[in-house]
Amino acid sequence: MPLNLQAVRQYLTELRNSGGLHKDQAEKYRNVLMEILKNPEEELAECLKAFIEAKNQTSTNENDWQTIPILRNRYKRKKLNQTPSPDKELQLENRYSPLKIDDNSKQHTKAKPTVKKPPPIILYGIQNITKLNELIDGVLQKTQYNYKIVTKNQLRINCSDIDSYKKLLDLVREKELIGHTFTQKDQRPYRIVIKNLHPSTPIESIKEAIESTGNKVKGEIINARSGLDKTPLFTWFVNLEPSPNNSDVKKLKYIYHTSITIEDPIHKKVIPQCKRCQQYGHTRNNCMRPYRCVKCAENHSTTDCPIKDRNTPAICALCLQDHPANYKGCKVFLQIQQRKTTVKTHQKNSDKSHDTQAPKIPASTYNIPAPNKSEKPRRTYASIAANKDEENTPTKLEEILSKQAEKLDKLLDQMGSLMSLLTMLVTKLIN
């Protein structure tokens, strides 16, 4: 075989395919041999001969039957001929760019503030509703109010907003219509209880300390008292004007150099009673009924009552019995309280029945056999352990009851004989 580049390449490929050389090694030797081919043929022949001998020597190994596999990367990275220029920017396109942008969608709609409903106005004894309509239509529009019959003697008027409520309330007071209303929730005073404060503390010092928290005292500051002798206690009641920072007053720890605690009052579920007309269900600040005295039931205020003697029997303005109108044993109060409790229990029972009521299953769904009356009832484990027969228990009870009845009859006979003897002795002693 002539010694040229083609012959050397063929030899190296055969050598690589047989597992003797790696592809990279063959390429390396090929480059070396290409340099050798530039030399004279004699030197090339000697180099090839030395190369073949070295190859044969390396293959004469004890473990020539095993070749070491060479792991090759099947997927090689391709080298880039040209590096990308940093000046070129990556261009991106938005497929929604042709669409028009609505600027109005960016404007967020503000949530409307909730409008609080005004309290209702209750009127009594309305005989002609047409005249009432004519009277109200002079102040309000027809869409600003509506009626509802509460009882045979009470009519409730609901207004649509606060302004219409105030106008209607001024009209009712101006025309001196008989009725009542309720205080708005945002106008109710915020009441607090001050504990562990000495009863001799100056009221001005208490007011100054409370108003230092940003609140304003409404009405009088009352010291709690107990017993018939009105013993002052270490507890005070204060009403504050409604404001967002009412709860800040609880951070107050000292009043007049005294460590105190401020708490919310305990709300008792008591039916309110008006001190003006003595009726239940509203208070005197919202009452538009005539005065009734709590002691004598006359049409005047309790403070103007001419009866000052405590021994004079009182007359109830509700039931006309001999007790004051604020007596909790009054039959009118007991009826109202019973009516309120029955409504609550009825609501609770209806809620429980609604929650626990199981769905009715039609009888045709399951073929349940009827119980056989001839079958004996199963005995319980307790009766078997006690060796008791359930069938004989009624007869035993009857026997015990009959014996007790006989004993009672004997006792009654003995008592009758004793009574006869006692009567005889008494008659003899008298005679």
416 found inside a domain = no
For the beta sheet containing 190-195, the strands, ordered from the edge strand earlier in sequence to the opposite edge, are 222-226, 231-240, 190-195, 261-263
Out of 221, 241, 263, a domain closes at: 263
406 found inside a domain = no
How far apart CA 353 and CA 348 sit, in angstroms, is 9
pLDDT for residue 346: 64
Q: Does residue 159 share a domain with residue 216?
A: no
Question: What's the pLDDT tens digit per position in 237-291?
Answer: 999 999 989 999 999 999 999 999 999 998 878 889 999 999 999 999 999 999 9
pLDDT for residue 363: 46
Q: Does residue 245 share a domain with residue 204?
A: yes
Residue 237's CATH number: 3.30.70.330
Judged by DSSP in three states, 333 sits in: helix
pLDDT for residue 40: 54
* Helix, strand, coil % in the chain, rounded to nearest 5: 40, 10, 50
Q: Does residue 284 share a domain with residue 255?
A: no
Could you please report the per-residue DSSP string of 396-410? HHHHHHHHHHHHHHH
Q: Which two tokens stand for residue 418?
A: 């004793």
41 found inside a domain = yes
pLDDT for residue 66: 52
Q: Are 251 and 233 in contact (CB under 8 A)?
A: no
Residues of the chain with pLDDT under 70: 1-90, 100-113, 343-344, 346-395, 431
Give the count of beta carbons closer than 10 Å to the beta carbon of residue 174: 9
Q: H-type helices in 212-362, by residue range?
A: 331-356
Out of 15, 30, 57, a domain closes at: 57
How far apart CA 365 and CA 358 sit, in angstroms, is 16
Q: H-type helices in 85-178, by residue range?
A: 129-137, 162-174
- Tell whether the torsion through CA atoms of 346, 351, 353 and 354 is positive or negative: positive
pLDDT for residue 381: 58
Judged by DSSP in three states, 222 sits in: strand
How far apart CA 9 and CA 168 sit, in angstroms, is 116
How far apart CA 305 and CA 127 sit, in angstroms, is 32
Distance, C-alpha 155 to centroid of its chain:
35
Q: Does residue 228 share a domain with residue 291?
A: no
Q: H-type helices in 357-392, by residue range?
A: 381-385
pLDDT for residue 166: 92
| Structural domain boundaries, residue 51 | 5-57
Q: Does residue 198 share a domain with residue 180?
A: no
- The pTM (predicted TM-score) of the whole model is 0.51
Out of 136, 165, 184, a domain closes at: 184
Q: How many domains does the chain have?
A: 4
361 found inside a domain = no
pLDDT for residue 365: 44
pLDDT for residue 182: 92
How far apart CA 274 and CA 182 sit, in angstroms, is 12
pLDDT for residue 414: 84
How far apart CA 414 and CA 422 sit, in angstroms, is 12
Q: Does residue 195 share a domain with residue 176?
A: no
